Structure 1
Amino acid sequence: MVIEADVVVIGAGMAGVSVAYELAGEHAVVLLEQESQPAYHTTGRSAAMFLESYGGPEVRALTAASRARFDEAGGLLSPRSLLWVAPGDQLAELSALVAAQPELVPLSPAEAVARCSALRADWMAGALLEENASEIDVLGLHQFYLGGARRRGATVLVDAALRGGRQESGRWVLDTAAGPVSAAAVVNAAGAWADRVAAALGVPPLGMRPLRRTAAVARATGVDRGWPLVADLGETFYFRPEGAGVLVSPADETPSEPCDARPDDLDVALAVERVNEATTLGLRSVVTAWAGLRTFAPDRKPVAGPDPAAPGLFWVAGQGGYGIQIAPALARMAAGSVTGGAVPHALSVARFR
């Protein structure tokens, strides 16, 4: 029996569930997930922050435009400031960031240490503070969208990997592990698998690049839960309090095939080494480590919009490390693209393919 829908969304990570939510209610939506549970890969492993100083102009505009949805959902943002720190060889980058984003507050090394007492003042040449940054409850946001999509009538199919698809009489007919599905429109929100989905549909890929990012939690003493997220401007490490310990990452971008990503011991050790160099934490014992895939288009800008080579196919992909914080605005853009509706002017900065 063929399942009929107006729109099929492929991928039940943050991109897929947010687009399904925006489309459901007024449209019959089917959400396909290849795993046995949604958010198994990147979304479920993200330690995301809401950072208005992070990313290029398009990403920053989408982040700002997403704020209202976070506030509407309630309880998804917990205040934690961001402290960009710079050794002497990164002072040019620090000056450029201040010029581009004057709302950031320059701090001296001593002032940065006052914000995070574990930092070494002699390691830094300067710092910048984003006071209004926040931690994101990633799974809470995902459940807001997934539960909302279901309440609006969306059908969610798990263990439903795409095997192939074709267009017949103006509709897409998809062969999935959960059975055939037919729809007028398909949204490719498959994250690291987006190019493989395109290939299964007989559409040229966009050259998406999945990059592995590693994180770990290390034991530490004297950790203040009020410390900011600390990141160096060269993006070679970041750390923040996590439970009784410290979450650390080498901010790695290791090319990978789409897969169930696993941490590399060398990357974990590198994260600990870099954080120890910049701080007095003296981290040694790692409690747990994990990895996820952040997927970028060749120009590292999000892709949202119709595929000119395949009528009825739309992309929501290439969100890289910004996918959680820009999800609300990007989903509204993508849904407007699918339905032909108006896109709010504030969101028009992002690229439609």
Structure 2
Amino acid sequence: MRYDADVIVVGAGLAGACAAFTLSRDHKVRVLESDEPASGASGAAAGLVNPFMGRRARPVWRLHEALDAVSAILEAAGAPALFPDTGVLRPAVEPDQVAPFQDAAETHPDLATWLSPATVRDRYPAVQPDRGALFVPRGGAVNVGAMVDALLDAAQARGATIETQAPVLYWRETPGAAVVEVDRGDDTEELRADRVLLALGQGYPPFPELRRLGLDGVKGQTVRVRRPEPLSDSLPPMSGRGYIVPEGDTLVLGSNYENNFDDLSPTPDATAYIQEKTSKMMPGLDEAEVLGATAGVRVKRSENNFPLLGPLPRRNRLWTFTALGSKGLLTAPLLALELPTYFNDLRNISDPVSTQKE
């Protein structure tokens, strides 16, 4: 049977771009994106690589491997500079965070250090240092839109085909192929592949097969403000009450979580909320000049916070890679780099993320 590609990747956000790049090494890959790359949540997030997340600084899943994968995939794509060696600062914004943060530093001395209030004050005068902070040297921030573009460019250089403005209307599976129907404006086109990987992110609601996976959408907003003066150029990205990511002469502030929303437009109320909570880490941000705001929808699983990867139920050739949630930068590269081994044997897929355990 004639295939239009070995693998068709539907969606060019972070998951789709990571998968397309990895698979393009040994497969003929075709990417179909209904809009532009990173047009959903991938384009809205500030891209914080924070391996100790949440109020209690709990380590992310497969901590060391996940951190290695971020660097490895960018290095392989020829874009290591997108992940600068800045580290992440986690100020303890509440009294009950001090002990867990100190415990994280003691448990993972190779990845985290506890800084006293005096040390924080000395290194980062603009930061509210009342209770000290956890510093994670291997953390940092990545411009997710630039990362998606770099991965797709590198995949294209390997021979992948990248199509934008190419919405997929439906898919089906035959004994010999996975088939997608693409909207071509006045007409449609059917494309065939050995496998189709659905990395639709927030584009899942129109498709019953994806809705049945137990996915939820959570709207989040980021706010770009003018960098206050004077502010040290050595200020690292921060995560505590929201997050603060320096980008040149601006700061990107995030984020909020809206489970119920009517549209994806940024709102003034969310902007004010984000500025107010990030000012708990850096006083004055609630009065900083707002330059713009962006919103997107993070997709997560309703039952847990793990991503989802594998064949759709009762399918063999139709796969999904979704539910990255707020940990996408630490899970998408890791899972994408292992994707070829998953294609070879489903048993290689880790239980927490496998669709076969649903």
Deviations 1:210-229 (A, max 9, x none): 21221112232212121122
| 2:199 aligns with one of 171, 178, 189 | 189
Q: Name the amino acid aligned to 1:207.
A: G
8 A contact 1:79–1:133 mirrored in 2:
yes
**Cα offset, 1:256, TM superposition:** 5.4
1:97 and 1:245 mapped to 2: Cα distance?
A: 30
Pick which of 132-141 and 305-314 moved more.
Answer: 132-141
8 A contact 1:53–1:101 mirrored in 2:
no
Map of 1:51 onto structure 2: 50
| 2:179 aligns with one of 163, 166, 173 | 173
**Cα offset, 1:100, TM superposition:** 4.8
Map of 1:334 onto structure 2: 339
Q: Name the amino acid aligned to 1:21.
A: F
Distance 1:204 1:292, change over 3 A: closer
Q: Name the amino acid aligned to 1:213.
A: G
2:285 and 2:44 mapped to 1: Cα distance?
A: 26
Note if 1:280 corresponds to 2:283. Answer: yes
Map of 1:75 onto structure 2: 81
2:279 and 2:83 mapped to 1: Cα distance?
A: 28
TM-score, normalised via structure 1 length = 0.84
**Cα offset, 1:166, TM superposition:** 2.1
Map of 2:158 onto structure 1: 152
Map of 1:97 onto structure 2: 104
8 A contact 2:307–2:331 mirrored in 1:
no
Distance 1:241 1:17, change over 3 A: closer
2:37 and 2:44 mapped to 1: Cα distance?
A: 12
1:95 and 1:58 mapped to 2: Cα distance?
A: 20
Distance 1:154 1:95, change over 3 A: same
Map of 1:106 onto structure 2: 114
Pick which of 181-190 and 87-96 moved more.
Answer: 87-96
Note if 1:33 corresponds to 2:33. Answer: yes
**Cα offset, 1:93, TM superposition:** 3.8
Report matched runs for 1:289-300 at 5 Å.
289-298=293-302, 299-300=304-305
| 1:230 aligns with one of 235, 238, 243 | 238
Note if 1:242 corresponds to 2:244. Answer: no
Map of 2:322 onto structure 1: 317
**Cα offset, 1:77, TM superposition:** 1.6
**Cα offset, 1:350, TM superposition:** 6.0
**Cα offset, 1:95, TM superposition:** 4.4
**Cα offset, 1:315, TM superposition:** 1.8
Deviations 1:275-334 (A, max 9, x none): 334433354221211122221122111112223421212121111122234333211222
**Cα offset, 1:351, TM superposition:** 2.7
SS, match of residue 164 in structure 1: strand
For structure 2, list consecutive stretches of 5 or more residues without a partner in the other structure. none
2:321 and 2:210 mapped to 1: Cα distance?
A: 15
TM-score, normalised via structure 2 length = 0.83
1:104 and 1:64 mapped to 2: Cα distance?
A: 13
**Cα offset, 1:34, TM superposition:** 1.0
SS, match of residue 326 in structure 1: helix
8 A contact 1:44–1:138 mirrored in 2:
yes
8 A contact 1:203–1:310 mirrored in 2:
no
Note if 1:221 corresponds to 2:226. Answer: no
| 2:139 aligns with one of 130, 133, 143 | 133
Distance 1:150 1:257, change over 3 A: farther
2:285 and 2:155 mapped to 1: Cα distance?
A: 46
- CA-based RMSD of the aligned residues comes to 2.8
Q: Name the amino acid aligned to 2:38.
A: A
8 A contact 2:89–2:135 mirrored in 1:
yes
Distance 1:280 1:5, change over 3 A: closer
